[in-house]
Amino acid sequence: GAGVSQSPSNKVTEKGKDVELRCDPISGHTALYWYRQSLGQGLEFLIYFQGNSAPDKSGLPSDRFSAERTGGSVSTLTIQRTQQEDSAVYLCASSSSTTSPGPQETQYFGPGTRLLVL
């Protein structure tokens, strides 16, 4: 079946502009995650959505970052007033996990959006 898809695959923007990144999770997956992969910081967790629960935003680096998930499926990550340090690959993942403690369900990753802020 179809995997996680992300768009655009590449985005070049000017400092100070807003950008929106989109993620389509695997059909039926209730959990959705955003991560960021950058040279200086490695792979970092940003935000996690699980069903209709309040999202875990603990990884968002500043209030310029926000994300929403509409209808329990597609998610959009928005970065306002972009800065050069926001340049990175933004990865989306989905899984069928629940909030119950225990063995974690596998997270399946999309190909990422490569963001370059000039």
Partner 1 sequence: GDSVTQMEGPVTLSEEAFLTINCTYTATGYPSLFWYVQYPGEGLQLLLKATKADDKGSNKGFEATYRKETTSFHLEKGSVQVSDSAVYFCALARGGYNKLIFGAGTRLAVHP
C-alpha dihedral sign at 49, 50, 55, 58 = negative
Tell me how far, at minimum, the Cβ of 31 lies from partner 1, in Å.
Answer: 6
Query: Does 42 sit near partner 1 (CB under 8 A)?
Result: yes
From 18-26, 62-70, 72-80, 110-118, give the range in contact with partner 1 by CB under 8 A.
110-118
Q: DSSP secondary structure string, 33-75?
A: EEEEEETTTEEEEEEEEETTSPPB-TT--STTEEEEESTTS-E
Smaller CB separation from partner 1, 64 or 109 = 109
* Cβ neighbour number for residue 74 with a 10 Å cutoff: 14
For the segment 47-106, give every residue that binds partner 1 (CB under 8 A): 48, 50, 56, 58-59, 91, 93, 95, 97, 99-104, 106
Per CB under 8 A, the list member of 38, 76, 80, 111 interacting with partner 1 is 111
Residues that bind partner 1 (CB under 8 A): 31, 33, 35, 42-45, 48, 50, 56, 58-59, 91, 93, 95, 97, 99-104, 106-112
